[in-house]
Amino acid sequence: MQTAYTKEELRTLLAPLRGKRIVLVPTMGALHAGHASLLKQARTMAGEDGAVVASVFLNPVQFDNAGDLATYPKTPMQDLETCDKCGVDVVFMPSPDTMYCSDRSITMEETHLSTVLCGASRPGHFAGVCLVVNKLFNLVQPTDAVFGKKDYQQLAIIRRMVRDLDIPITIHGAEIVRENDGLALSSRNVRLTPEHRAAAPAIRRSLLSAASAFSAGKSVEEVCTQVKTELESIPGVRCDYVELVDAVTLHEVTDPHRLALLAVAAWFGEVRLIDNLELSCS
């Protein structure tokens, strides 16, 4: 495995790989088993002849909250070990100054899917994601890129960006990886208090029971209220949103034959957790 810290080093390492299948896994570091699963899927996808590139970059531009950026876990040495174990060929680990010019003045805004769910409470977040993912796509020029379904809205927005801008990259969504108790893996889980860590599997349980209630005939409003009530009965927990939406448009379900998404974001004390469940409505 080789590591590039600058764009120039990245170009040099990628030059011999041009023409091969190159699978990119963008990350912000603090890699856990969920990222390892994305990297392994990328390795399988690339095969022996292709290459896997992982980026480890804590993108300041997508943080709407300075405290969240400051407390985001940083484990660069462990991240390199994880990448190596998962069969990554090239890791790109730039600093913010390497990545962005100080007088940068171009923004990338998606204007429909970003207005709801996490986008409604995190202004500028998805513009920051689109900007950095675009830059990574331009720098790496992969044939494929893998994103986790835990950040379902991010995946939907990146698919839309690739479609609307004719970016010649195939986007793959990877299933959520969970702890044995059902909690979706997240770099933020380490910041939960012991009490909130013990309570957090309620997110998954409440989504599953809401999905059963929905298939048994309860309305969208009823199932969302059910999840909210269950989670907010835990001391120190407040839901940011619970919504059942179309899985592609992320807006109201209008066609019952299309896949839907039950999505939740909830504050467990100071830590904001997200999770979701795909459901077929019919």
Give me the numbers of helices (H) and strands (E) for the chain, helices first please: 11, 9
**Residues classed as catalytic:** 35
Length, in residues, of the chain: 282
* Beta carbons within 10 angstroms of residue 41's beta carbon: 19
Please name the residues in contact with 240: beta carbons below 8 A apart, sequence gap of 6 or more.
Answer: 118, 121, 265, 266, 267, 272
Exposure b/e, 104-126, CB count within 10 A at least 16 = b:
eeeebebeebbebbbbeebebbb
Among the listed residues 156, 109, 179, the one whose alpha carbon sits nearest the alpha carbon of residue 260: 156
Smallest distance, Å, CB 56 to ligand PAF? 9
Smallest distance, Å, CB 192 to ligand PAF? 19
Segment near ligand PAF (CB under 6 A), from 3-11, 21-29, 92-100, 268-276?
21-29
- Considering the complex, state which of residue 113 and residue 211 has its C-beta at the smaller distance from ligand PAF: 113
Segment near ligand PAF (CB under 6 A), from 23-31, 42-50, 214-222, 227-235?
23-31
Interaction of residue 140 with ligand PAF, rule CB under 6 A: no
49 three-state secondary structure:
coil
Among 10, 23, 27, 162, binds ligand PAF (CB under 6 A): 27
Among 133, 139, 171, 260, binds ligand PAF (CB under 6 A): 133
- Considering the complex, state which of residue 154 and residue 189 has its C-beta at the smaller distance from ligand PAF: 154
Among 3, 37, 59, 186, binds ligand PAF (CB under 6 A): 59
Please name the residues in contact with 99: beta carbons below 8 A apart, sequence gap of 6 or more.
Answer: 57, 59, 132, 135
Determine the residue with CB nearest ligand PAF. 26
Among 99, 131, 132, 140, binds ligand PAF (CB under 6 A): 132
161 three-state secondary structure:
helix
Interaction of residue 28 with ligand PAF, rule CB under 6 A: yes
Interaction of residue 37 with ligand PAF, rule CB under 6 A: no
In angstroms, the Cα distances linking 79 to 99, 112, 181, 263 are: 19, 34, 25, 29
- Considering the complex, state which of residue 17 and residue 131 has its C-beta at the smaller distance from ligand PAF: 131
Interface with ligand PAF (CB under 6 A): 26-28, 59, 62, 129, 132-133, 151, 154
